[in-house]
Amino acid sequence: MASSILSSRCSLSSPAAAVARALAPPRMTLACRFQSSVPMPWGSMAVRSVASRNSSLSAVAPETSAKVIDGKLVSGQIKNEVAAEIARMKDTIGIVPGLAVILVGSRKDSQTYVRNKKKACKAVGINSYEVNLPEDCTEEEVLKHIAIFNDDSSVHGILVQLPLPRHMKEENILNAVSIEKDVDGFHPLNIGRLAMQGRDPLFVPCTPKGCMELLHRYDIEIKGKRAVVIGRSNIVGMPVALLLQKANATVSMVHSYTKNPEEITSQADIIVSAAGVANLVRGSWIKPGAVVIDVGINPVDDAESPRGYRLVGDICYEEACEVASAITPVPGGVGPMTIAMLLSNTLESAKRIHNFK
Ligand SMILES: Nc1nc(=O)c2c([nH]1)NC[C@@H]1CN(c3ccc(C(=O)N[C@@H](CCC(=O)O)C(=O)O)cc3)C=[N+]21
């Protein structure tokens, strides 16, 4: 009975989940249900998120449940730290950091992200500037606004919300942002430095930095561990792999052409998934005791939710909870960290520009 609840929770999502299901071996659900004696470094602190649903099983196999890595909580702590530094800078040198956001077009999700970023800026004392351009505006128009912000000394960070309309060349736009103000860390010079030994970028991209910050703040060792990154995008997969490697993990990347991704993923001590496929990673893909960071934010239809949809990650959360030692939820995991890192990068930029220690 309980196992049907479990598997149906992870199947509810999208056509993509059906693909993931097809990839997963049929015994998977049962196998992960009866996973026993998973090492639990956090012992009794572990949040027993599946305990109530599965209590009837405890006589059969010892209960295991991953610790929830609370991105919402950690992002709140970081915001407090950033706010305190901003207040100190303002009191000492009279400078208030400024973040400029350029939004092109009217995608609902992008508008929501930009609204949330503005709200977060306000909460920590960053001045925010926003430019909204129509979907059909020219690349030159966007470049003009970037140039204005590059020259504006009250702006310490510039973010061009992605994705851009298809008629624009993302590369041209990202190249135009001054690397000193590239708080997204998407300028090729910043990415290039991230990829090189002994060089440091001025900014590390926010989502990858947020993943690393969660690992650090939860005392998860990275050095010498096997890490698997699922997805190889410029904004998450690739930079997070570089950061893990910089932190001395042995990193593999799994992508759409990888043969038998489950076999590779199930060897990892740390899994970071940024594939954008709901419930792609099933319990059987996860080594017992692994740490799982879920970067996916996939909307799936849900008539019971006020918005008509809800967000799920790339990881089949209920299954993963029974195998992993720690896991980030969606929502409330990496998402809030992305915004916290953007605020932190903007503060860092203002400090660097004004040589404030
Ligand atoms: N130039 C640029 N920089 C970005 O950093 C950037 C971007 N473009 N384009 C889109 C992606 C996506 N992204 C997110 C930020 C916050 C949440 C977030 O806070 N999510 C909440 C849930 C939000 C909700 O419920 O709608 C959570 O996971 O708990 C998610 C995703 C930044 N991005």
How do residues 255-279 score in pLDDT, each as one tens digit? 999 999 999 999 999 999 999 999 9
**Domain, as residue range, for 328:** 8-71+207-336
**Does residue 136 sit within a domain?**
yes
CA distances from 340 to 115, 125, 208, 336 (A): 14, 13, 12, 6
Res. 216 pLDDT band, cuts 50 70 90: very high
In this structure, of 41-50, 185-194, 204-213, the range with the lowest mean pLDDT score is 41-50
**Residue 211 belongs to domain with CATH number:** 3.40.50.720
Is the pLDDT at 24 greater than 80, yes or no?
A: no
The mean predicted confidence, pLDDT, of the chain is: 87
Does one domain contain both 348 and 292?
no
34 to 24, 50, 84, 319: CA distances (angstroms):
17, 13, 47, 11
Residue 78 has pLDDT above 90, yes or no: yes
For position 59, what pLDDT does the model report? 46
- Residue 26 CA, ligand 1 centroid: distance in Å: 34
| H helical segments located in the chain | 2-11, 15-23, 28-33, 51-54, 71-93, 108-124, 139-151, 170-176, 188-195, 206-217, 237-246, 261-265, 317-321, 334-353
Which residue from 72, 79, 108, 113 has its CB within 8 A of the most atoms of ligand 1, so it is best to mutate? 113
Q: Per the structure block, which two tokens stand in for 162?
A: 């992605």
Quick check: 10 pLDDT over 90? no
Average pLDDT of the residues in 296-313: 95
Going from the Cα of 338 to the center of ligand 1, the distance in angstroms, rounded, reads 7
- What is the C-alpha to C-alpha distance for residues 344 and 348, in angstroms, rounded to an integer? 6
Q: Considering the entire predicted model, what is its pTM?
A: 0.86
- In terms of domains, do 48 and 21 share one? yes
% residues pLDDT > 90 (the chain): 82
- Domains: count for the chain: 2
Q: Could you tell me if 50 and 66 are in contact, meaning their C-beta atoms sit under 8 angstroms apart?
A: no
Nearest CA to 79 out of 316, 269, 349, 339 is that of 339
Active site residue 109: no
Ligand 1, residues at Cβ distance < 6 Å: 112-113, 116, 159-162, 184, 206, 297, 311, 330-332, 335-336, 338-339
Please confirm, yes or no, whether 184 is among the known catalytic residues.
Answer: yes
pLDDT of residue 279: 96
Separation of alpha carbons 320 and 281, rounded Å: 8
Query: Which residue's C-alpha comes closest to atom 14 of ligand 1?
Result: 335
The rounded distance, in Å, linking the Cα atoms of 299 and 11 is 14
Report CA(208)–ligand 1 centroid distance (Å).
Answer: 12
Mean pLDDT calculated for residue range 302-326: 96
Looking at the structure, tell me whether residues 332 and 255 fall in a common domain: yes
Q: Are residues 234 and 301 in the same domain?
A: yes
| Judgement on whether residues 278 and 230 belong to the same structural domain of the protein | yes
Q: Tell me whether 0.95 is exceeded by the ipTM.
A: yes
How far apart are the C-alpha atoms of 3 and 11, rounded to whole Å? Answer: 12
Rounded to 10°, the helix 15-23/2-11 angle is 120
- SS3 state of residue 312: strand
Catalytic residue among 161, 209, 287, 294: 161
Is 117 considered catalytic here?
yes
Cα of 57 vs centre of ligand 1, distance in Å, is 37
CA of 27 to the centre of ligand 1 (A): 35
* Tokens 């609204």 -> residue: 115
Average pLDDT over residues 115-139: 98
pLDDT at residue 15 above 50? no
Domain shared by 184 and 101, yes or no: yes
> Is there a single domain that holds both residue 216 and residue 332?
yes
User: Is 143 domain-assigned?
Assistant: yes
Report the nearest atom of ligand 1 relative to the CA of 207.
5
* Set 117, 225, 287, 351: catalytic member: 117
Per-residue confidence (pLDDT) for residue 334, from 0 to 100: 98
